[in-house]
């Protein structure tokens, strides 16, 4: 069976979960669910990034020990995954023993290997330069700007501070050519979308400097093997989660182990702000340790809120739990992945989400299901109708629905184009609504009942295909719709996509799946 390993970034525990975190996790959930339905063995990982200066400071501000603090906040992210109905197979915390052991071994392997220029991959030196705690990143002088307050800032807007301390370095400078070759190799592009790939390539072409990978001025982290005065750079520690969660290095030689089965990862989903860590540092670290790099990294865009950057100081942070209680979980899942071309930035506004709920979900899909199924209930004996001979219009709609699996698979698997996949499915929903109007089953009821049953059958079949394909996006609502079509649980995977509804099967009384937004507010 073919396998699929998909990961979210692990979230910093200095902050409460917001809609940006929910977005990354949901995108991965849709892929994981899609691949499972498509017959693949899936491993879907998420978790929390718990070390480093930023988390240490947040714990200090909260007046608790870093361990107590991370135990508490990590739970919020675990809860978020369950509120979002996310189907992750594992949740990794970087404070777990399995992770610490993996980091130590990764370090040892990097330290005992040679870079492409024949020098050792890790060496001891002294770091003198700028560091942004908010980004947990080092910056060159040339990358900084000076704000109106005279303070220097990173390109992300984060404040930087001058750091001078002994540090181990990773010989990143020697990996430039290997990285550039790597970006050009393979049939799947290593970095998506193309704009990010170009950015990464031009960053690497400009020349890489060696990377500081240990710190000595604070203690909340994983000690460097053999030199515990140093703790590992939090990004080296964090990136290693993708292999520590697979049980590496303990199961390295076990062909049945998670590592052998799932590494290299098929996809690391990340936000655009953390592309460099995943596409430059991480493949080089892995290669230095003798491990394969992941197959692909895809960077999505950022959400603003009602046109403004989301920030605690503006007080406009969108909390997933509030959105879910206001709009319902599946509508939020749908909106986030439908509204914005995946990879670009988007704006979260009340008007936009209400428009999507009322138009796409309530009017188009919800109404299609409701009017067809209640018509069948009242006028076709509450069973899957028996079709007669098919007309050209019937075939056209059925073919459009049948063609969706290949189209959606292409959009999601190769390009992570969630919005395009949804657009294609909803184009068929719109076609089905036009077909209802043009075929007018309510008129046929009086004039030609056999033709009426054919029309209803074609519609029910179309709804079945649409509902099967939308399961990864809106699992609960589509389960309800498939229940209403009496599709058995074992006929909901993509292997059963072509297994048409059986005429004569009894259908339960239908109930609306997607209420309009104002109705929800009243109810």
137, β-bridge pairs: 132
Which of 5, 11, 127, 139 lies at the binding interface for ligand MSP (CB under 6 A)?
A: 11
CB of 134 to ligand MSP, least distance (A): 9
- Which stretch in 5-13, 353-361, 378-386, 493-501 sits in contact with ligand MSP by CB under 6 A? 5-13
297 lies in the site for ligand MSP, by CB under 6 A: no
Token pair belonging to 133: 């705690």
CB of 440 to ligand MSP, least distance (A): 45
Binding residues for ligand MSP, total number by CB under 6 A: 19
Closer by beta carbon to ligand MSP, 36 or else 54: 54
CB of 317 to ligand MSP, least distance (A): 9
310 lies in the site for ligand MSP, by CB under 6 A: yes
27 lies in the site for ligand MSP, by CB under 6 A: no
494 lies in the site for ligand MSP, by CB under 6 A: no
Which of 83, 163, 302, 405 lies at the binding interface for ligand MSP (CB under 6 A)?
A: 302
Cβ count within 10 A of residue 424: 18
CA angle in degrees (0–180, nearest 5) for 155-23-422: 120
CB of 310 to ligand MSP, least distance (A): 5
For 463-491, give one letter per residue: b (16+ CB within 10 A) or e: bbbbbbbbbbbbbebbbbbbbbbbbeeeb
CA angle in degrees (0–180, nearest 5) for 468-472-476: 80
CB of 271 to ligand MSP, least distance (A): 2
Nearest residue to 11 (alpha-carbon basis) of 119, 86, 63: 86
Closer by beta carbon to ligand MSP, 175 or else 281: 281
12 lies in the site for ligand MSP, by CB under 6 A: yes
Nearest residue to 164 (alpha-carbon basis) of 131, 133, 139, 142: 131
Which of 44, 281, 303, 473 lies at the binding interface for ligand MSP (CB under 6 A)?
A: 303
Token pair belonging to 127: 């770091």
CB of 108 to ligand MSP, least distance (A): 20
220 lies in the site for ligand MSP, by CB under 6 A: no
Cα separation, 306 vs 283, whole angstroms: 37
Closer by beta carbon to ligand MSP, 318 or else 491: 318
> How distant, in Å, are the alpha carbons of 9, 418, 506 from that of 22?
11, 15, 39
What character string, x for contact with ligand MSP (CB under 6 A) and - otherwise, covers 241-280?
A: x----------------------------xx-xx------
Token pair belonging to 97: 């023993």
Cα separation, 28 vs 269, whole angstroms: 7
Closer by beta carbon to ligand MSP, 309 or else 502: 309
Token pair belonging to 182: 């790597």
Closer by beta carbon to ligand MSP, 24 or else 477: 24
Nearest residue to 335 (alpha-carbon basis) of 324, 325, 343: 324
Cα separation, 209 vs 212, whole angstroms: 9
Nearest residue to 54 (alpha-carbon basis) of 72, 46, 66: 66
Q: Judging by DSSP bridges, how do beta strands 211-212 and 41-49 pair with one another?
A: unpaired
- Name the closest residue to ligand MSP (Cβ): 271
What character string, x for contact with ligand MSP (CB under 6 A) and - otherwise, covers 41-60?
A: --------x-----------
What DSSP character marks residue 502?
Answer: P
296 lies in the site for ligand MSP, by CB under 6 A: no
Residues that bind ligand MSP (CB under 6 A): 9-12, 20-21, 23-24, 49, 238-239, 241, 270-271, 273-274, 302-303, 310
């Amino acid at each position: 069976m073919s396998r699929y390993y998909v990961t979210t970034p692990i979230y910093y525990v200095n902050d409460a979960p917001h809609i940006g975190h929910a977005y990354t996790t949901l995108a991965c959930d849709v892929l994981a669910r899609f691949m499972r339905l498509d017959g693949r063995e899936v491993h879907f990982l998420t978790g929390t990034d718990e070390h480093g200066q930023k988390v240490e400071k947040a714990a200090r501000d909260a007046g608790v020990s870093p361990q107590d603090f991370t135990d508490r906040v990590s739970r919020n992210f675990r809860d978020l995954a369950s509120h979002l109905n996310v189907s992750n197979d594992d949740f990794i915390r970087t404070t777990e023993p399995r992770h610490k052991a993996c980091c130590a071994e990764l370090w040892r392997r990097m330290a005992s290997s040679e870079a492409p220029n024949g020098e050792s991959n890790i060496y001891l030196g002294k770091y003198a330069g700028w560091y942004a705690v908010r980004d947990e990143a080092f910056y060159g002088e040339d990358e900084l700007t000076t704000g109106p307050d005279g303070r220097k800032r990173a390109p992300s807007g984060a404040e930087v501070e001058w750091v001078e301390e002994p540090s181990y370095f990773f010989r990143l400078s020697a990996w430039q050519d290997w990285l550039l070759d790597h970006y050009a190799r393979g049939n799947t592009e290593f970095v998506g979308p193309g704009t990010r790939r170009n950015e990464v390539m031009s960053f690497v072409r400009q020349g890489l400097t060696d990377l500081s990978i240990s710190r000595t001025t604070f203690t909340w982290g994983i000690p460097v093997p053999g030199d515990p005065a140093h703790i590992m750079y939090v990004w080296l520690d964090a990136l290693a989660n993708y292999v520590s969660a697979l049980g590496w290095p303990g199961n390295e030689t076990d062909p049945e182990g998670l590592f052998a089965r799932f590494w290299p990862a098929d996809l690391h989903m990340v936000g655009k702000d953390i592309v460099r860590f995943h596409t430059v540092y991480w493949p080089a670290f892995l290669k230095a340790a003798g491990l394969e790099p992941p197959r692909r990294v895809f960077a999505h865009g950022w959400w603003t809120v009602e046109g403004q950057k989301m920030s605690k100081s503006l007080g406009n942070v969108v909390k997933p739990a509030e959105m879910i209680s206001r709009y319902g979980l599946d509508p939020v899942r749908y909106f986030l992945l439908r509204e914005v071309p995946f990879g670009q930035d988007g704006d979260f506004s009340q008007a936009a989400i209400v428009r999507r709920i009322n138009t796409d979900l309530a009017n188009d899909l919800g109404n299609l299901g409701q009017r067809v199924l209640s018509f069948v209930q009242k006028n076709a004996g509450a069973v899957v109708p028996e079709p007669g001979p098919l007309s050209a219009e019937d075939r056209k709609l059925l073919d459009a629905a049948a063609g969706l699996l290949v189209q959606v698979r292409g959009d999601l698997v190769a390009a992570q184009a969630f919005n395009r996949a949804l657009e294609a499915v909803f184009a068929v929903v719109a076609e089905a609504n036009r077909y209802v109007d043009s075929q007018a089953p309510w008129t046929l009821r009086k004039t030609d009942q056999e033709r009426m049953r054919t029309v209803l059958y074609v519609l029910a079949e179309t709804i079945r295909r649409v509902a099967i394909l939308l399961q990864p996006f809106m699992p609960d609502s589509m389960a309800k719709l498939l229940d209403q079509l009496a599709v058995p649980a074992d006929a909901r995977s993509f292997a059963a996509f072509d297994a048409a509804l059986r005429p004569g099967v009894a259908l339960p009384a239908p109930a609306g799946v997607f209420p309009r937004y104002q109705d929800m507010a009243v109810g």
